Structure 1
């Protein structure tokens, strides 16, 4: 019987490794940017086309590579970071395993141009599917430029599993943000389809956070600093009032490497206990500096998970440090004068002796209760102190009331025990009475007993079916804004909004783009109340959509209808007048599914007379 075990060809082995390392275009972006950082670059440019499916290009001004290194970097397990097994526990660089470039070259068309600073000529290598097509000397700037074209061109099954461009671009932006946060001293830029999404100059961590997420984040940050014998903790956390309903702004870095650790995340959330609702997630950007010998980073292919020798102590340090910072900085607001310069004009530059005390002129003889007759014989007052002329025919203001005294009263206060209400009940016994209980429930009598209706769940059901119908008919009613509002979003939310824009406009929003990551809201759906501004309605819609997508995995239109209905519905604790109660119940029973809320819970509870009699033991 012949032998059946054989060694895999290098091309097949590289494609298998690519399945672990390169899952989507964002994975290739991460590997290339980390290589540029390890090369000592202080300026990194990322250029993306077609959400990375057509082109991913990273240009840096790092140390560059020699002719031999440029060829060797595409071999499996070729690395400049590891020489012996002990080096695995002293790693402070990003890449070290030596599989990224080989995996990328196995599933894409790669062009590498590199030159060392001391060399006069650079080197250019073209590779397709792990095969070297050409290698030649070229004129190139110092550093490295690597282009990845047609990702997964030779594995169409993998390419078919990629999501749409907006989704893939959001993953690329996430990887870009993580790397940019970890390296605020490096200049970064991101271009997508010819548009510059990010231009991040080198600076401090706070400036990098503001440049990434928006100027309004300058007032949301609380510094955290703790130095112990186990770890050194630094960074920023967000104030509780600015917490969001969705995850996505939580960043942990261990030795400048982004990690995902639910255990440490729980430590931060615990520090917010009693000042933050359970379904809210605060912003934090925290850096842990620890001895590499006390951690193991070689436990996951993407290196986003780490094992610690003493994780309980790290948990306690993070929790206490965040809690102390919140208590120290959240009580008295502080101003960052390096960032905010709008108050300079309020500071007087004059010395104290030059400031003149203001003078107030008044007439000591002025008496507003004296009439013109009592003033006769005295010197007339200045015109500015004269009393205004007495209004004439003021008694006619009450003529309308007097003329209607014989007519029956049309409106009465709807209060318990009101005689007018009792009289109306006698006159119109057939009219159904609807009562509101604790401003949360509606009670109405039926033949067999009474119904108890959750007003918020009922309104959510009404709006959800209305918005779903508008999304199908594309005829949502819009309410024009008197003063259009400008809303600035981060790059990820802006890309999401562009993807949702046709459906959002079908609901009644009137939105147009206004510069980079900025939109102008000129109208909102007519069914939304006036308790929120246009910008707040849009921001809540985006946050709710991301939250539902992460938890429920809903269809895009269904997600939009649910999110907008939940945000626009009347909340528990809202008082309703009689007409509003009646309209709410009428519209509820006109719905296709009036008995079930959007969360699958009951909207209506029915109580019979027999059940009430049993309660009273009759």
Structure 2
């Protein structure tokens, strides 16, 4: 009987293993940059073409390799980082498994040039699909240059599942940003399709952050520097100016290695729990230092996962440290928006700092004045009143029913069998949401030209996505022009958006796009919802009589005056029977 179990050829083993280590071009960039860092380089250059599908080149000025080391580096489980079993308990290098280079070489065409400072010449080594082709002596610089061509050329099943060049480019850019922030002491240059995206010299962390995200974040950063016998944590967290709708600006490093740990991410988010809204993510770049004996990186080939000896101790320490640095609430509050005059029927924003609980300074608006407005006689408005209250509008309100603004937040009035309360923010949000949906499908909203245009800087991958949805921004009333280096100038705003909110709105919509993509119905819905949320009046904005009249008229002329785009109720009704029960009359 023939044996049915076979030992696989080493080349096939390499290709199978490559599936775990090398998922996409960004994985190649990650592994090669880590090698450069372990080689003590202080200058690293990354050159990519077509999202890494055509070629990836990494050039560094590290210690380089001898001829024998070059050849050995492409053997499976050959590494310079470990020598004995006990070394696993104190890993300080980026790589240590000895899998990356043979995995990459098995599915690509590789050329490596390297030279050490002890030699007068270096070597060029060529390996294709895991097979050595040539090694020769050449004149080259001290350090290493490695070029990866035609990734997955010999595994067509893997190659066809790569995303578009644009998507792969975004993934590579995100990986590079991880390294820019983990090693601010290293100079990086990143070029994609002959365009320089990053050219950053060695800096302190804060200066590196300002180089990447722009000077505008300077006053929004909160420094963290704390330690005890078990853990040291330092870096920066952001105030609410830097909050985003996706966790794109969250960087956590353990012993200089970027990690993704749901428990620690939860600890940081918990520290913000009382000041963030649902679906918002804080900004942070934090370095944790723990004795390597208390952590295990040898969990997965990508080395992003980690196990802690006492994970709940780390969780509580991180949460407490971050929370303590958020105690000064004024540091976490966003900048106050600039204001502009109100014009009738255009915006409900008021520049009013009054925080009185009841606003009875002026004669309350009579609800019958609203019912007699021309808009209220519209069939849609009548139908919405009738559906909401199961009565005709003419029978609904007392003859002397009045409207008051409570806490500069709610509109309250008496009806025939109790009270109704309207949340002014979500009411206006519903109005703007439906306006935006119509605009996105039609001719667009009007724009107001700003006196002082604002400059907004994006990350390279974000800017690329922004260009893809520029037509949507123009439809809702933005006028923008390119300013170079991933930067735009905003010359005009939607008429309902207050000055100073343009950057947050643009970035929120961009976040939604990067979640849902361009033509997805959810994305269009979320563009309109983001626009409405930023443009709507806020809790604390005092409204005058004319504004309350206009708000309620427009609310009941919408298709759905009962819920905001996020599902929150707009109108709450308390019947006379419920009031009697509350006061124990029944």
Q: Distance in 2 between matches of 1:289 and 1:21?
A: 26
Q: Distance in 2 between matches of 1:455 and 1:219?
A: 32
Alignment-derived partner of residue 568 in structure 1 = 535
Alignment-derived partner of residue 543 in structure 1 = 508
Q: Distance in 1 between matches of 2:22 and 2:550?
A: 56
Q: Distance in 1 between matches of 2:122 and 2:524?
A: 52
Alignment-derived partner of residue 343 in structure 2 = none
Are the counterparts in 2 of residues 114 and 124 from structure 1 also a CA contact under 8 Å? Answer: yes
Give the 5 Å matches for 1:94-493.
94-239=94-239, 242-244=242-244, 246-271=246-271, 281-322=281-322, 415-416=363-364, 435=403, 438=406, 439-441=408-410, 453-473=422-442, 475-493=444-462
Are the counterparts in 2 of residues 474 and 507 from structure 1 also a CA contact under 8 Å? Answer: no
Deviation at 1:95, TM superposition (A): 0.9
Alignment-derived partner of residue 33 in structure 1 = 33
- DSSP-derived class of the 1:237 partner: strand
Alignment-derived partner of residue 88 in structure 1 = 88
Deviation at 1:92, TM superposition (A): 0.7
Are the counterparts in 2 of residues 253 and 288 from structure 1 also a CA contact under 8 Å? Answer: yes
Q: Distance in 2 between matches of 1:11 and 1:473?
A: 58
Q: Distance in 2 between matches of 1:100 and 1:126?
A: 16
Query: Are residues 452 and 233 of structure 1, via their aligned partners in 2, closer, same or farther at CA, if it must alter by over 3 Å?
Result: closer
Task: Deviation per CA, 1:103-143: give whole Å up to 9, x if none.
Answer: 22233333222222333333333334333444433332221
Q: Distance in 2 between matches of 1:554 and 1:430?
A: 39
Query: Are residues 57 and 483 of structure 1, via their aligned partners in 2, closer, same or farther at CA, if it must alter by over 3 Å?
Result: same
Are the counterparts in 2 of residues 166 and 496 from structure 1 also a CA contact under 8 Å? Answer: no
Q: Distance in 1 between matches of 2:264 and 2:95?
A: 23
Query: Are residues 255 and 608 of structure 1, via their aligned partners in 2, closer, same or farther at CA, if it must alter by over 3 Å?
Result: closer
Query: Are residues 3 and 313 of structure 1, via their aligned partners in 2, closer, same or farther at CA, if it must alter by over 3 Å?
Result: same
Moved more, 469-478 or 605-614: 605-614
Query: Are residues 86 and 265 of structure 1, via their aligned partners in 2, closer, same or farther at CA, if it must alter by over 3 Å?
Result: same
Q: CA RMSD in A?
A: 4.0
Alignment-derived partner of residue 385 in structure 2 = none
**Gap runs ≥5 in structure 2:** 332-360, 378-392
Deviation at 1:513, TM superposition (A): 1.4
Would you say 1:76 and 2:60 are equivalent positions? no
Q: Distance in 1 between matches of 2:207 and 2:327?
A: 23
Q: Distance in 1 between matches of 2:180 and 2:486?
A: 18
Task: Deviation per CA, 1:288-344: give whole Å up to 9, x if none.
Answer: 23322222110122111222223444445444544555569988xxxxxxxxxxxxx
Task: Deviation per CA, 1:23-81: give whole Å up to 9, x if none.
Answer: 22222111110011111111101112222232221111112222333233233222222
Q: Distance in 1 between matches of 2:304 and 2:414?
A: 59
- DSSP-derived class of the 1:514 partner: strand
Query: Are residues 50 and 557 of structure 1, via their aligned partners in 2, closer, same or farther at CA, if it must alter by over 3 Å?
Result: farther
Give the 5 Å matches for 1:31-70.
31-70=31-70
Query: Are residues 471 and 167 of structure 1, via their aligned partners in 2, closer, same or farther at CA, if it must alter by over 3 Å?
Result: farther
- DSSP-derived class of the 2:469 partner: helix
Q: Distance in 1 between matches of 2:278 and 2:415?
A: 38
Q: Distance in 1 between matches of 2:365 and 2:77?
A: 85
Query: Are residues 436 and 113 of structure 1, via their aligned partners in 2, closer, same or farther at CA, if it must alter by over 3 Å?
Result: farther
Q: Distance in 2 between matches of 1:166 and 1:444?
A: 54
Deviation at 1:201, TM superposition (A): 0.9
Q: Distance in 2 between matches of 1:544 and 1:269?
A: 22
Query: Are residues 417 and 171 of structure 1, via their aligned partners in 2, closer, same or farther at CA, if it must alter by over 3 Å?
Result: closer
Are the counterparts in 2 of residues 239 and 330 from structure 1 also a CA contact under 8 Å? Answer: no
TM, length-normalised to structure 1: 0.74
